[in-house]
Structure 1
Amino acid sequence: MRRRPHRPARPSRTRTGPRHHRASPRPRHRFRIVVPLVVLAFVVSVLLTEGYTTRTFPGDQEGRTGRPATGVPREVTGGGPVVDTTRDHPSTYRVPDRTVVLTFDDGPDPVWTPRIRAVLDRHGTPGTFFVTGQQAVRHPGVLRAVIRSGHEIGVHTFSHRDLSTRSASGVDRELALTQLALAGAAGINSSLLRMPYSSTTAALDRADWSVARHLGDKGYVLAFVDRDTRDWQRPGARAIADAAAPGAPGRGAVVLMHDAGGDRSQTVEALDELIPRLQAQGYRFTTLADVLGTDSLTSPVDTGTLWKGRVFVAAVTVSGTAMSVIGVLLLVVGSLVLGRCVLLLVLARHHAHRRPHHAPGPPVTRPVSVVVPAHNESLCIAKTLRSLAAGDHPVEIVVVDDGSDDGTADIAESLGLHAVTVVRQPNGGKASALNTGVRRASHDLVVMLDADTVFAPSTVRRLVQPFADPAVGATAGNAKVGNRRGLLGRWQHIEYVMGFNLDRRMYDLLRCMPTVPGAVGAFRVTALRDAGTMSGDTLAEDTDITMALHRAGWEIRYVEDALAWTEVPTSLRQLWRQRYRWSYGTLQAAWKHRHAPAERGHAGHFGRVGLPLLTVFQILTPLLAPLIDLLTVYGLVFGNPLVTLLAWTGVLAVQTVCAAYAFRLDGESLRPLWALPLQQFVYRQLMYLVLVQACLTAANGYRLPWQRLRRSGDVVLPPPLSAPER
């Protein structure tokens, strides 16, 4: 006996009038266009800001020592570690005897800078911190604490670039951004600078000296070193302290250490040992400003510059927070994409290798009614009807002409095919036409297909076999692309085989099929009545009725060998219109049946399994998937291009494996898969935008009108699959 549903679903209102809807007001249309552009602009701005301000640098690199000095004045290479090129003739300054200037590069760091500052403060020792703009905008509070403690601040460029490899404009940009960061983070600017990767003045070459002269023209005093501790190598606290001690007894020195760029615990320990040792030897500690005989090399900025800096710091802060969120979302979407691929492969394999489902009782041989809704299908209707008439199962064919004005009904009648009935009605929409066809049907099993679809001879017979089980209310066939010539056709062919049909295998095993495709599906008339018949409440009547059948307690099966070839759009504009309607209709149907998770029995099973899978894999994941493309570009520009390309290739490889297996299961040639990599650059982005547009349309409360596609009538059965019995 047929398992009765636990409770009948409430009948849905059937739209009887044609699908004419009031045009959208212009502001709403602008809303659907402007919002995606604003979101895209925001994300791109975040990526650009974050990429430039947090681009990593090899901070733990050795200074360029021991290189021959060529093209540099001898008074500079043989002079002191502080170089002033702001005047026509350069001047150098040495640190006085028994005097040490402790300098720290690459900060401020939120962990190690405060610890180093605490050691200096405890010993009453001033330090000079050469900060990068990147770190300053990321940790402004740390920088302000250093300044409050009375320590000196110098510039170490914005992104720790080797200035000798940069153009003059590039150098100026580094300096301007760094000063902007200092202004926003601490309200100061600084005329003291240390070039990244520099060491002693003896190591200067012609390129370095050219940059040094340019920096002098900009008003900067340059700091080099006498003692490089190489603390970034982590040789141990004692070795760092020994390397910092002046080479000759009583000689003054500028000492280089680091407060960022890695683990600086040994540097902290070395300072606690070095400072008391040198103080005991009669050394004093000072700043570079004191060496130059000036009070300070920093000064407060004016109000305008202060606010520009604050806006800059705020922008970087927002971008950093947004980037953290984007990173989490990328992890989520990456896990979902890979998880979906694994789930589809595992379940598809199980579906393909399970024992064939033997329904109780003998095979279904009784006649079937076939309903074909048609509106202006003069190019397709003849081919569709002839394919049905050539089938190996007894059928009656009901063609419902839904207000066509191109002679569709006349063509159907003129074919003279047996058991074809043409019903004419005013245009009322597809759902209305299908309901008319079901009412005119003579049999209790009804097959439905679009008027641009061609059936194989065995399709109807295979499609109705699961109805031997009285619990089955509908079956979904295997829809394929019938006009797969051209790149766009191949992309859709890949999507149909890889996406739609792999999904249906998964949903079939989980007993939660969300859609019986309008191109090839069969229904028990009793089940249709239980579910409230076809409804015009949504633009995806096939998804709506499928969900209603689940809620009415009926099982739905997928019949992978019930083949149908349907016409797909041949232009991007037509594809956009079709997928826009599909996406919007799916959202409508999911919202309409949102109460299913709280129901009992099979309805609750569908609501707790089918609806979440639909939401996650057909709405949430595609909405987040553009992050993969955006962050791929981000990685190519700001990250490691090789690693980025390897990651992107890995994702593509997983998709290719899924596609190849899906093609193998469907008996399709693998040749079209050459277009899969190209699909990543145009087709996927189009699908993203379609879904975003549909979601915004739904959120805006606009009722999307029905959008009919232009037919070409060029559906053909591929030769390997066109035999009556495959």
Structure 2
Amino acid sequence: MSRARRARQVPLRTHWFVLTMLLVCLSGALLLHGYTNHLFGTTPDGAVAATGAHDAVPAAVVNGGPLIDAGSASPRSAKPKVKTIAITFDDGPDPVWTPKVLDLLRAQGVKATFFVVGTEVAAHPDLARRIVAEGHQIGVHTFTHANLSAVPGWRRSLELRQSQLILAGATGVSTPLLRPPYSSEPSALTNADWEAVKHARDAGYLTVLTTQDSEDWRRPGTTQVIANSMPKSTAGQVLLMHDAGGDRTETLAALQKLIPALKARNFQFATVSDTVGIPLPIREASLVERGRGLAAIWAIRLSDGALTIITWLLYAAGALSVLRALTTIIAARRHARERYWSWGDPVTEPVTVIVPAYNESAGIEAAVRSLVASDHPVEVIVVDDGSTDGTADLVESLNLPGVRVIRQLNAGKPAALNTGLQASSYELVVMVDGDTVFEPDAVRMLVQPFADPSVGAVSGNAKVGNRKGLLGRWQHIEYVVGFNLDRRLFDLAECMPTVPGAVGGFRRSALERIGGLSDVTLAEDTDLTMALCRDGWRVVYEERARAWTEAPASLGALWRQRYRWCYGTLQAMWKHRGAWVQRGQSGKLGRRGLTYLLLFQVLLPLLAPVVDVFAVYGLIFLDPLRVVLVWAGFLAVQFGMGVYAFRLDGESAGPLWSLPLQQFVYRQLMYLVVIQSVFTALAGSRLRWQRMERYGSLDVPPSPADARP
């Protein structure tokens, strides 16, 4: 393999690897964020009543205390000491309420037990550290507040393992104390709850239930919270309260009165372990556990940051899409009002038509015959650029009047056009691809704007001829809705960046003044048009100059064509970047045309993968109906643009039925082309010319009556 070929291939493999890794990392970040933020229960613990059979729950547990050791030999439980209360708080830590609860407990000289949610600890590790540092006991309340009795075994293990890791990373300690979300008293345990308790014991956890619920989650009023929390006897209690999950004003107010009242009744306050009389269960986490926990915390934070960035990118993509829709429709409407604008006296002078041809035998006859049939006087110059399929011989054998064939060694399309330009007899020149057929009035319509001496080039209306099949329909839609609407906007803004090679008219003197066509980019038509604009010429769009061209008939051929177009456009934009700071017609090209291309043909496609990944995220973790409605709204905007564009172009709107399908194949192909082109440009690789495959599908030029509804 040659050195040049290695330089061309390696960046392509590298950028696809980089893109794949970026998408994998992005998907992983969204999956983590979705799991930690959208797959947990937000219903307060006490609001869910346990239902189901309970015959499998041991009687010793049902009639026992709130701390349960569900060992396989003989389950045990422990009750609180007489006149001892363990105040427990669930669902935190919360950045607003947990500090206020801690301040109140410190002022009252009371130690409590906090059952924390792993995701909240990851979000507020400083509060978890404060809980431990101030002598309170800490336990886990699962990772995402999941109902352990209702989830599969793998998720139970994940919930317990991750919550412990997060706690170790945030505080440096680990705990065997677990309060399952949506649990209450031991007597309320169902068979499903008992299975979850046993699973937790296998993982090394002691389950802590409650004996008294303050029901502060209901927010019934401070007086009622106090009444719900007050013991009815001298028996010890494990009291359930909350330091998160909403407004905890009533909880704080109740505690301020409850603690002194219970002290007055000679009740003692202690942690859960002290209340039931077991050794301190908290232990120091190992260095490995702390490291893994910190890694998990940072992974969650990075996923949150990734979603924030994605959200802003989605806003940007949405804004760009709406902006493009509005600007193109408004411009198209105004342009349509000027449809029959007169440029001056009719242009009747003869025109030279140049057809560069390299192995175009499949369609060259139809192309040349359509040109000879023009209702405007033309000379046709076919420049055979070293064809090996008999293209030149075929044209010569036709013996058509006014048609000349020039043969040259293969030097590329720009060189062929320059050869034809030197041989042209007239000032007005039309350039045509070898796979394009003209309508009879196309040349005449194309040259009429040259009545204005400021016009240096005219873009015609290229139509897809082989539009059968989904791929053909999608390209037909793109030509009508994308290219032609953009050209109307560029025409009004006087910043046309491209006169298509399929159908374009030029002043020969203007071309000679800029040195003819250049071969330094793969998009010679875009490079040429930008050079004319920078030289002060105006480039306009004549929609009535209709020509029919062959579109790629396979995804591979389409990829190669669009890759060349996109990469060549990037080359031309970089070559003519100086137009951004210039004045006059050049400045219009730079600040209007190049900015438009950068925003809507480079930046917007680069954002498209993010939109698709987030759409999948929304379907899984958010409201699927809302995601579908947003997608339907976006599609409705596109459909509306399509109907209007097809009407302006005199086309039947029938192919628009395939527009929804276009979003799942064609759209992805187009933005992947842009991504590959950008990566290739950044890598500094230079691509060779990629010739399109010809099919010879355009035998005769369609008449206007065939094309218009």
Q: For the superposition of Structure 1 and Structure 2, which TM-score range results when normalised by the shorter chain?
A: over 0.9
Cα displacement (A) at 1:79: 2.9
Q: How far apart in 2 are the matches of 1:190 and 1:724?
A: 76
Mapping of residues 560-709 of structure 1, within 5 Å: 560-709=543-692
Gaps of 5+ in 2: none
Q: How far apart in 2 are the matches of 1:565 and 1:120?
A: 82
Mapping of residues 126-275 of structure 1, within 5 Å: 126-246=111-231, 248-275=232-259
SS in 1 for 2:379: strand
Answering whether residue 433 of structure 2 is matched by residue 427 of structure 1, we say: no
Amino acid at match of 1:306: R
Cα displacement (A) at 1:701: 0.8
Q: Is the 8 A contact 1:452 1:566 kept in 2?
A: yes
Cα displacement (A) at 1:402: 1.0
Cα displacement (A) at 1:332: 0.9
Q: Is the 8 A contact 1:483 1:716 kept in 2?
A: no
Q: How far apart in 1 are the matches of 2:110 and 2:603?
A: 56
SS in 2 for 1:22: helix
Q: Give the aligned partner of residue 496 of structure 2.
A: 513
Q: Give the aligned partner of residue 374 of structure 1.
A: 357
Q: What is the CA deviation profile of residues 457-476 of structure 1, one whole-angstrom value per residue up to 9, with x for unaligned ones? A: 11111111111111111111
Q: Is the 8 A contact 1:230 1:240 kept in 2?
A: yes
Cα displacement (A) at 1:446: 1.0
Q: Is the 8 A contact 1:65 1:200 kept in 2?
A: no
Which residue of the other structure, out of 277, 287, 302, is the alignment partner of 2:271?
287
Q: What is the CA deviation profile of residues 458-495 of structure 1, one whole-angstrom value per residue up to 9, with x for unaligned ones? A: 11111111111111111111112111122211111111
Q: Give the aligned partner of residue 336 of structure 2.
A: 352
Q: What is the CA deviation profile of residues 301-345 of structure 1, one whole-angstrom value per residue up to 9, with x for unaligned ones? A: 222222222222222222222222122111111211122122222
Q: What is the CA deviation profile of residues 141-181 of structure 1, one whole-angstrom value per residue up to 9, with x for unaligned ones? A: 22222222222211111122221222222211221222222
SS in 2 for 1:610: helix
Mapping of residues 77-156 of structure 1, within 5 Å: 77-156=62-141
Cα displacement (A) at 1:615: 0.3
Q: Give the aligned partner of residue 12 of structure 1.
A: none
Q: Give the aligned partner of residue 522 of structure 1.
A: 505
Which residue of the other structure, out of 711, 716, 719, is the alignment partner of 2:694?
711
SS in 1 for 2:86: strand
- 99-108 or 624-633, which moves further after superposition? 99-108
Q: What is the CA deviation profile of residues 622-676 of structure 1, one whole-angstrom value per residue up to 9, with x for unaligned ones? A: 0011111100111122222222222222222222222222222222222222221
Q: How far apart in 2 are the matches of 1:393 and 1:724?
A: 21
Answering whether residue 306 of structure 2 is matched by residue 306 of structure 1, we say: no
Mapping of residues 487-502 of structure 1, within 5 Å: 487-502=470-485
Inter-CA distance 122–418: structure 2 relative to 1 (3 Å threshold): farther
TM-score by length of 1: 0.92
Mapping of residues 15-54 of structure 1, within 5 Å: 22-25=4-7, 27-54=10-37
Cα displacement (A) at 1:122: 2.6
Cα displacement (A) at 1:723: 5.2
Q: How far apart in 2 are the matches of 1:651 and 1:289?
A: 58
Inter-CA distance 235–468: structure 2 relative to 1 (3 Å threshold): farther
Inter-CA distance 208–362: structure 2 relative to 1 (3 Å threshold): same
Q: How far apart in 2 are the matches of 1:717 and 1:266?
A: 84
Q: How far apart in 1 are the matches of 2:121 and 2:244?
A: 12
Inter-CA distance 654–282: structure 2 relative to 1 (3 Å threshold): farther
- 51-60 or 187-196, which moves further after superposition? 51-60
SS in 1 for 2:47: coil
Cα displacement (A) at 1:397: 0.9
Q: How far apart in 2 are the matches of 1:449 and 1:273?
A: 90
Q: What is the CA deviation profile of residues 420-455 of structure 1, one whole-angstrom value per residue up to 9, with x for unaligned ones? A: 111111111111111111111111111112111111
Q: Is the 8 A contact 1:393 1:458 kept in 2?
A: yes
Q: Is the 8 A contact 1:479 1:563 kept in 2?
A: yes
Q: Is the 8 A contact 2:533 2:586 kept in 1?
A: yes
Inter-CA distance 725–299: structure 2 relative to 1 (3 Å threshold): closer
Q: Is the 8 A contact 1:158 1:174 kept in 2?
A: yes
Instruction: State the aligned residue count.
Output: 705
SS in 2 for 1:558: strand
Q: Give the aligned partner of residue 278 of structure 1.
A: 262
Q: How far apart in 2 are the matches of 1:306 and 1:725?
A: 72
Q: How far apart in 1 are the matches of 2:240 and 2:106?
A: 18
- 70-79 or 434-443, which moves further after superposition? 70-79
Q: Is the 8 A contact 1:130 1:194 kept in 2?
A: yes
Q: What is the CA deviation profile of residues 477-518 of structure 1, one whole-angstrom value per residue up to 9, with x for unaligned ones? A: 111211112221111111111111111112222221111111
Q: Is the 8 A contact 2:433 2:502 kept in 1?
A: yes
SS in 2 for 1:681: coil
Q: How far apart in 2 are the matches of 1:658 and 1:717?
A: 30
Inter-CA distance 696–224: structure 2 relative to 1 (3 Å threshold): same
Q: Is the 8 A contact 1:478 1:501 kept in 2?
A: yes
Q: How far apart in 1 are the matches of 2:655 and 2:339?
A: 30
Q: How far apart in 1 are the matches of 2:340 and 2:248?
A: 66
Inter-CA distance 446–39: structure 2 relative to 1 (3 Å threshold): same
Cα displacement (A) at 1:377: 0.6
Inter-CA distance 416–723: structure 2 relative to 1 (3 Å threshold): farther
Answering whether residue 59 of structure 2 is matched by residue 74 of structure 1, we say: yes
CA RMSD of aligned residues (A): 2.3
Q: Is the 8 A contact 2:64 2:79 kept in 1?
A: yes
Which residue of the other structure, out of 332, 335, 340, is the alignment partner of 2:316?
332
Amino acid at match of 2:277: G
Cα displacement (A) at 1:539: 0.7
Q: How far apart in 1 are the matches of 2:250 and 2:323?
A: 44
Q: What is the CA deviation profile of residues 381-416 of structure 1, one whole-angstrom value per residue up to 9, with x for unaligned ones? A: 111111111221111111111111111111111111
TM-score by length of 2: 0.94
Percent of paired sites with the same residue: 50
Inter-CA distance 173–423: structure 2 relative to 1 (3 Å threshold): same
Mapping of residues 380-459 of structure 1, within 5 Å: 380-459=363-442
Q: Is the 8 A contact 1:81 1:93 kept in 2?
A: yes
- 383-392 or 208-217, which moves further after superposition? 208-217
Amino acid at match of 1:99: T
- 161-170 or 683-692, which moves further after superposition? 161-170
Q: How far apart in 1 are the matches of 2:226 and 2:651?
A: 71
Q: Is the 8 A contact 1:86 1:221 kept in 2?
A: no
Q: How far apart in 2 are the matches of 1:210 and 1:721?
A: 76
